[in-house]
Homo-oligomer: A and B are copies of this chain.
Amino acid sequence: MLEQNQIWDQLSLDKEEFTPKQKKIIAAAIEIFAEKGYAATSTSEIAKKAGVAEGTIFRHYKTKKELLLSIVAPMMAKMIAPLVIKDINRVLDKDYDTLEDFLRAMIKNREAFVEKNILLFRILVQELPFQKELQEQFLEHIAAKIYIRMEKVVMHYQEKGEIMVMPSKTVIRLFLSTIFGHLIARFFIVSSEEWEDEEEMERTIQFLVKGLSE
């Protein structure tokens, strides 16, 4: 079973809002959804794992889908947290002299986040293609915001001459697919014993810095 404290802290949900049984339901649902996928998970299975009557699930969530969304939606909000810095320009000027420094901070931070939320991350990635509600939320609230913020960052480093002249859309795509590839290899493919974390991260950063340079 999940160490539950983690979930509530990460999703910054007010722990008090949930009854103990509800917390068990959420924890159980996360584990099974991640393992089998939403459609292949039965509510009776969740109830059993949570040690709860099946009816109890439906006291708290009108439908099975509502349970899924209540779990995944807050996760999406948290994903863009590091980009919701109020004045990202100032941060860029002061905190990160070079693109390399910025990338290193970014990757470390997101890697830590995903590490603490692997299961939620899995569910999000796996269900995004099927759940219209998630897609809408993702496009409206997440993708748009990420894009606006990253465009600023890209232009900032293009002005400084660290990123070659190229449409920022393309830069963002190349950047995101490299990061995603890194995270997916790290958490879903390569077994953790084989993975040399520091070295791989440095190589990924070097690859990005060189690939994007003029």
Q: Is the CB of A177 within 8 A of B166?
A: no
A13-52 vs B, CB cutoff 8 Å, 1 = contact: the mask equals 0000000000000000000000011011000000000000
Contact of A213 among B173, B203, B210 (CB under 8 A): B210
Which segment, of A76-84, A106-114, A178-186, faces chain B?
A178-186
Q: Is the CB of B37 within 8 A of A129?
A: yes
Chain B residues whose CB sits within 8 angstroms of the CB of A208 once the complex forms: 211
Chain B residues whose CB sits within 8 angstroms of the CB of A53 once the complex forms: none
Q: Is the CB of A177 within 8 A of B174?
A: no
- Interfacial residues of chain A within 155-214, with CB under 8 A of chain B in the complex: 166, 170, 173-174, 176-178, 180-182, 184-185, 188, 200, 203-204, 207-208, 210-213
Chain B residues whose CB sits within 8 angstroms of the CB of A188 once the complex forms: 129
Q: Interface on A for B, CB 8 Å cutoff? A: 36-37, 39-40, 122, 126, 129-130, 166, 170, 173-174, 176-178, 180-182, 184-185, 188, 200, 203-204, 207-208, 210-213
